[in-house]
């Protein structure tokens, strides 16, 4: 298989119906997410700047979404469609949560953006509360995230450093949406108790 290509197999019940070699990106694919009804899939390359959404039957590009201009690490566990397929959420290694509305054309920019607070392993306080303590810096460890939708209005994010975030998604007129933090737990501090 060539760089940036996916092998797409269309199945009918248990039999292979067709197979297609498909190139969603020029560079290597780092992440893929499939919608709950299998009608759409989203991909990211190792650059992590552009997310592309395709119709899974026709392989037609439906949306090209801009995450940012700097390189970011995106994994399949950090990219997810909402249960109703109307939104796509992504959390990158930059600790930035992006939300796109897919129901209004092929709009490029995220409709909502939230920067997770910096990691502070010395505090059991919520990161949404300001603290005068020094933040720890870890050069050898990379915090990675898993993102999932609890419902069409709730996103949950967990991290390899024991953090759990819960966000409420509010939908406004037009294609706007907003993210509000609902809850935070730091399991590393719970283990120390």
The whole-number average pLDDT for the span 17-21 is 67
The whole-number average pLDDT for the span 45-69 is 85
Strands (E), the chain: 6-12, 15-22, 29-34, 40-45, 50-55, 61-66, 79-81, 87-91, 96-101, 112-115, 145-151, 154-159, 163-171, 177-186
Asked whether residue 125 carries a pLDDT value surpassing 50, the answer given is: no
Query: How many whole angstroms separate alpha carbon 193 and alpha carbon 190?
Result: 5
Asked whether residue 147 carries a pLDDT value surpassing 90, the answer given is: yes
Amino acid 100: pLDDT: 87
Q: Contact at 8 Å (CB) between 180 and 167? A: yes
Asked whether residue 107 carries a pLDDT value surpassing 70, the answer given is: no
Q: Contact at 8 Å (CB) between 128 and 112? A: no
pTM for the structure as a whole? 0.77
For the domain with range 20-119+142-192, which CATH number is right: 2.160.20.60, 2.130.10.10, 3.40.630.30, 2.60.40.2380? 2.130.10.10
CB neighbour list of residue 71: distance below 8 Å, 6 or more residues apart = 46, 47, 48, 49
| Cα–Cα distances in angstroms (integers) from residue 86 to residues 58, 70, 71, 148, 182, in the given order | 19, 26, 26, 15, 21
Domain borders along the chain are 20-119+142-192
Amino acid 157: pLDDT: 93
CB neighbour list of residue 12: distance below 8 Å, 6 or more residues apart = none
The whole-number average pLDDT for the span 180-188 is 83
The whole-number average pLDDT for the span 165-175 is 83
Q: Contact at 8 Å (CB) between 151 and 167? A: no
Amino acid 35: pLDDT: 94
Length of the chain: 193
Asked whether residue 3 carries a pLDDT value surpassing 70, the answer given is: no
């Amino acid at each position: 298989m060539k760089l940036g290509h996916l092998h797409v197999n269309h199945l009918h019940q248990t039999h292979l119906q067709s197979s297609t070699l498909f190139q969603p990106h020029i560079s290597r694919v780092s992440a893929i997410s499939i919608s709950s009804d299998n009608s759409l899939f989203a991909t990211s390359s190792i650059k992590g700047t552009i997310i592309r959404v395709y119709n899974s039957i026709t392989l037609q590009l439906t949306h090209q979404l801009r995450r940012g201009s700097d390189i970011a690490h995106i994994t399949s566990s950090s990219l997810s469609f909402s249960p109703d397929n109307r939104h796509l959420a992504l959390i990158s290694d930059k600790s930035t949560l992006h939300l796109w509305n897919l129901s209004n054309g092929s709009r490029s920019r995220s409709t909502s953006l939230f920067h997770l607070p910096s990691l502070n392993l010395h505090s059991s306080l919520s990161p949404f509360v300001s603290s005068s303590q020094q933040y720890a810096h870890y050069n050898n460890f990379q915090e990675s995230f898993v993102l999932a939708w609890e419902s069409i209005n709730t996103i949950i994010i967990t991290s390899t450093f024991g953090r759990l975030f819960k966000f409420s998604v509010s939908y406004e007129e037009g294609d706007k949406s907003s993210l509000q933090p609902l809850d935070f737990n730091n399991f590393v501090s719970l283990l120390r108790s």
